[in-house]
Structure 1
Amino acid sequence: MTAFFLIAQMAGAGFLALPRALADVGWLSVPMMIIFCVSVAFAGTRLGKSYVLLEERWPEEYKHGSRQPYMEIADKALGPVGRKVALWSVVLNLFGSTVVFIILISDMVYKMIWVAMDEEYVCGITKCHLILIVGACIIPLTWLGSPKDFWQASVLAVVSTAIAVIVIIVEIFSKPEQLPDNPPYPNPTVYSFSLGFGAILFAFGGASVFPTIQNDMADRTQFWKSVIAGFCGILSMYLPVGVVGYAMFGDTVQSNILLTVEMTVPVMVAVGLEIVNLLCTFMISINPVVQTVEEYLGVPSHFCWQRVVTRTLLVMLQMLIGTAIPSFGKILNLIGGSLITMCTFILPPLMYMKLIDDRSDPKWPVKTIPLWKRIYLVEIMIVGIVGGVCSTLTAAYDVILASFNDSCFTHFYNCPNPV
């Protein structure tokens, strides 16, 4: 079940943007995806072991779990400053990621309406309207408790994603007439490579939620097995859809592969399933954010009116951001290059090494890290820092342009063709 939660967390919007990411990076992105998958999985197992270390060293504090497990690991490993860095990184990462989900759901609903109805009727409602409608529909889903209270969401998310991947691949091969005659494969530029780097990071960027999911396990020492199973599952879906989408469409592929293929009945079904997937992933991803906010506001952990008000206001803020920058690809690239890099590539290896090297209490069993593992962890951090800085700067420039040119505040009643 934990592996299902991990797949659901990462596969929400990541696989939809992968073909575009491959087009931005070029064929080098295929080995890059595999390396990132292995590296993030390894860092994820170290994050899980860090949480187990907290249980072993401070059993009275953590034997019953924690509402902020990622931040607790950062606090014990890096002190109060590290806790604040982790807190802001995790909260902003998941908050921004769930904004992406709202925009993406709105995109796909708009495309389905456009295909199903005549243009004159569609023009009565725009994607900007749909962002507000989708956000309003999502609000009640956020009132649930922790992931263990909605484990069915993870199963639905994984099944929906697997079906969507199969439909996309079958549709591409069964409808060759929709493919470009000579798909372009231009060499990547520094600008495009940086954007693609951020999108690939986003596709594997679920580490900020890992401790929250691990927190609900009966035996948290087994988390590493769930990580291996989850990343094997995620790579088995990512590689086919990414490679096939880029190989067949080349540089003409859109930010969302589902909106690139012809909108046939099977694709419409896949879009519907992916909307279900994103709704389920939204529920999982927003949970650490709302729990953190509630912890600081003193909101009780049981269902109450304070929870309803707090979580409703948070989603309304997301709706406001979505209407300001209604391009999911641009926000995805920015989050992937900055916050996901911090939560997935930098903090987990650093926290694990600091905890293992901590000798402040002589009662603790002495633990060591083999040299090859330490070198690998340092390499993961270096790749994250260098790639993340380049990707963040490039994506931030894109977002700033979008906020002036594509904002719903200036185009709220426009009726653009989503194709």
Structure 2
Amino acid sequence: MEFSERTLLLQSNNNSSNKLSVFFAIICIVDIFGVFPIVALPKAIIDCGYYGIATILLICTVQIYTASLLGRSWNIAQEINPNIKLKSRYPYSALAEITYGKYLSRFVNFLVDLTVFSGGIPNLIVASQNLELLGLRISNQNTDISFCYWIIILGVLLCPMLWLGSPKDMKILCSISVVLVILVFLLICWCILFGTTPESSTVTDNSTVEIWKYIMTAYGIIAFQFDVHPVVLTIQMDMKKKSKLPLAVLCGFFVSLLMFAVITIISAYKYGTFIRPSLLETLPTSIPLHFAAVLVALQLCLTSVVSNNALYQHMENCLNISRDFNCKRCILRTILTILAIVLAESVPRFDLVMSLIGGSLTAPLVFILPPLFYMKLQSLQKKHIEQLQEESITNILMPRAGPSSEFSEEYSADLSKYYETKFKEEFKAYAGKCDKFFECVFNRKLEIVICCIIIIASVCATCVTSYLNIRSSALSYVNFSKPCIYNISRTLLYL
């Protein structure tokens, strides 16, 4: 099979040798999480105090569960309508269409594209801040190139790379990215353990009134940083053993959370609450820190180039742009890159962007839609089984034409009863093949209750988090920090 730029990022041919093993599926999931849990998540959890432990454990457990629900939903959808495989390029919207119709499918497509595009903005900001930090540390505060300018520089450098289309070998790129993540983890551990402790590093108790605000902010950031749901179905379809998706998701979360836990524990012990939104800004100057800053910027840029191509390809499909290299593609991707630069220059703090995206855009994809799809597909599966049973029984009981029938009525009734019983047993075994593990743990009715609780709690948390983040963003504009675009525009006016 010949690959084109229209091929899915993780898609391969039907040969099992080119399919993803469980190990590489875990690599892909860890790559999706990237360095953000190591660099940008510790402060949000430390601010919550001991409540932060319960917060991240609860949210990540729900995320693992809902990611598994998506995989199970796809298996049920294939059973009900095998033609859904033809829409495997956009599996999330395909699930939306088979469950609630084409209008929700279009909305899900828009939401996924918007989430992917917005997710690249914090990548650009954090990478630029790390390069600014690196310049200051190396030159002993003498060279100050603002990250506002680094955003523009990185955007210009990345733009030609985005013209070339999607990567041809995701296994290699994902492996390189995960190696960078592990190296960043080791370097930061070295910096924390063997670096100096600031004198102002004291642990302060957050008031009871503020704790819930910190928890809501942490909820949005966690949802953003551990958002695997838009691509988890693509990973499943490219796995050799599709039933092992829950194991891959669980192991991927475990690896990233383990690195995050180690960094957070030693950071809280050594620096207390004296931690900035980016952990690299807190650490003392050292050669390992310089390498860590470069690797973080490289990993974030690599992640942006890889993840944004899915969005670009979808938009090119919508605009009927040829898959070959052409001017229209370059113009479209350049416009989107410029838009990303403008948005990155327009926000005061990257942590607010992560929390806003995670709480408002990512949360429906992670916590609300998977349980809704699963419950609807359970109902459709039940109707599908009943319909197949009725059709089978009707075919068996259909009397043969003509007066010379070979079977007597009594024998025909016994035969139909035998086939009906056998059909029920075989179909029940087939339908429950993919859900064997979960059915041992959860009763179907209990699962429905759990799904309803997740949906209700997520809707409430999403509304509260969105309100707090919008309010915090407004306060940051007015009282605390001005966005880059404000400072650049003022500089241009004075020229």
How far 1:340 sits from its partner (Å)? 1.4
Q: Which residue of 2 aligns with 1:239?
A: 261
Equivalent residue for 1:207, pick from 229, 234, 259:
229
Bigger shift: residues 92-101 or 174-183: 174-183
Query: Contact between 1:338 and 1:389, CA under 8 Å: does it hold in 2?
Result: yes
Question: Residue 164 of structure 1 contacts residue 274 of structure 1 at CA under 8 Å; is this kept in 2?
Answer: yes
Determine which structure has greater relative contact order: mean sequence separation of CA pairs < 8 Å that are 6+ residues apart, divided by chain length: 1
Matched, 1:111 2:129: no
Of 27, 49, 55, which residue of structure 1 is paired with 2:78?
Answer: 55
C-alpha displacement at 1:142, in angstroms? 2.7
Contact 1:154 1:280 in 2 (8 A): no
**284-293 vs 300-309, greater mean Cα deviation:** 300-309
Q: Which amino acid aligns with 2:195?
A: K
Counterpart in 2 of 1:73? 95
Which amino acid in 2 is paired with 1:381?
A: I
Query: What's 1:276 paired with?
Result: 298
1:2 alignment counterpart: 25
Amino acid at match of 2:470: A
Residue 313 in structure 1 maps to residue 335 in structure 2: yes
CA change 1:161–1:43 in 2 (3 A) is same
Q: Secondary structure at the match of 2:204?
A: coil
When residues 2 and 306 of structure 1 are mapped into structure 2, their CA distance, relative to the original with a 3 A threshold, is farther
Deviations 1:3-58 (A, max 9, x none): 11111112342332211111332211112212222221111111122223333333
Match status 1:46 vs 2:46: no
Q: CA deviation at 1:301?
A: 4.1
Kept in 2: contact 1:67–1:292 (CA 8 A): no
2:486 partner amino acid = T
Cα separation, 2, equivalents of 1:150 and 1:269:
25
Match of 2:191 among 148, 166, 171: 171
Aligned to 2:36: 13
Moved more, 149-158 or 95-104: 149-158
Q: Deviations over 1:247-288 (max 9, x none)?
A: 432322110112211121111111222222212221333133
Instruction: Identify the match of residue 185 of structure 1 among 191, 205, 222.
Output: 205
5+ long unaligned stretches in structure 1 = none
Check the 8 A contact 1:156/1:276 in 2, yes or no. no
CA contact (8 A) 1:11 1:161 kept: yes
Q: Which amino acid aligns with 1:24?
A: D
Aligned in 2, Cα 1:141/1:77: closer, same or farther, shift over 3 Å?
farther
**Counterpart in 1 of 2:378?**
356
Aligned residues: 412
Moved more, 305-314 or 36-45: 305-314
Percent of aligned positions that are identical: 23
Pairwise mapping of residues 212-231 of structure 1 onto structure 2 (< 5 A)? 212-218=234-240, 220-231=242-253
Tell me the equivalent position of 1:409: 485
Kindly indicate whether the alpha-carbon contact (under 8 Å) linking 1:30 and 1:239 is maintained by their aligned counterparts in 2: no
Name the CA shift for 1:11/1:371 in 2 (closer, same or farther; >3 Å). farther
- After the TM superposition, which of the residue ranges 321-330 and 182-191 deviates more from structure 2? 182-191
* Counterpart secondary structure, 1:338: helix
* d(CA) in 1 for partners of 2:159, 2:266: 36
Q: Any idea what the Cα deviations from partners look like across 1:268-321, whole Å, max 9, x if unmatched? A: 111222222212221333133223222221223454443333222211110010
Once residues 48 and 446 of structure 2 are traced to their aligned partners in structure 1, the CA distance between those partners, rounded to angstroms, is: 29
Given that 1:22 and 1:196 are in contact with CA atoms closer than 8 Å, whether structure 2 keeps it comes out as yes
Q: Which of the two has higher C-alpha Rg?
A: 2
Identify which of 333, 336, 351 aligns with 1:329: 351
In structure 2, distance between residues paired with 1:181 and 1:242: 15
CA-to-partner distance for each residue in 1:216-272, whole Å, 9 max, x for gaps? 445544433321221221221122222332343232211011221112111111122
Q: Per the alignment, do residues 261 and 341 of structure 1 end up closer, same or farther by CA in structure 2, a change over 3 Å counting?
A: same
Tell me the equivalent position of 1:386. Answer: 460
Which letter maps to 1:373?
A: E
User: What is the identity, as a one-letter code, of the residue corresponding to 1:129?
Assistant: Y
In 1, distance between residues paired with 2:51 and 2:224?
17
Partner residue of 1:256 out of 268, 278, 283: 278
Residues 130 and 310 of structure 1, relative CA distance in 2, 3 Å threshold:
same
State TM-score, norm by structure 1: 0.89
The reply to whether residue 161 of structure 1 matches residue 235 of structure 2 is: no
- Which is worse superposed, 355-364 or 235-244? 355-364
The match for 1:152 is: 172
**Is the 8 Å Cα contact of residues 147 and 213 (structure 1) preserved in structure 2?**
no
| Secondary structure class of the residue paired with 2:41 | helix
Residue aligning to 1:399? 473
Q: Which residue of 1 aligns with 2:417?
A: none
Give the distance between the partners of 1:220 and 1:140, measured in 2 at CA: 36
Aligned CA-pair RMSD: 2.6
Asked whether the equivalents of residues 101 and 278 of structure 1 are also in contact (C-alpha less than 8 Å), the reply is yes
SS, match of residue 205 in structure 2: coil
**CA separation in 1, counterparts of 2:146 and 2:108?**
37
Task: Please give the alpha-carbon distance, in whole angstroms, between the structure 2 residues aligned to 1:44 and 1:179.
Answer: 44
Q: Distance in 2 between matches of 1:6 and 1:286?
A: 16
SS of the aligned residue for 1:67 comes to coil
Equivalent-residue separation in structure 1 for 2:139 and 2:325 (angstroms): 41
- Of the structure 1 ranges 363-372 and 106-115, higher mean CA displacement relative to structure 2 is found in 363-372
Query: Does the Cα contact within 8 Å between 1:112 and 1:268 map onto a contact in 2?
Result: yes
CA distance in 2, matches of 1:118, 1:258: 16
Counterpart CA distance in 2 for 1:240 and 1:379 is 31
Q: Residue 377 in 1 paired to residue 486 in 2?
A: no
Gaps of 5+ in 2: 1-23, 390-426, 433-442
User: Paired residue for 2:116?
Assistant: 94
- CA shift, 1:335, in A, is 0.7
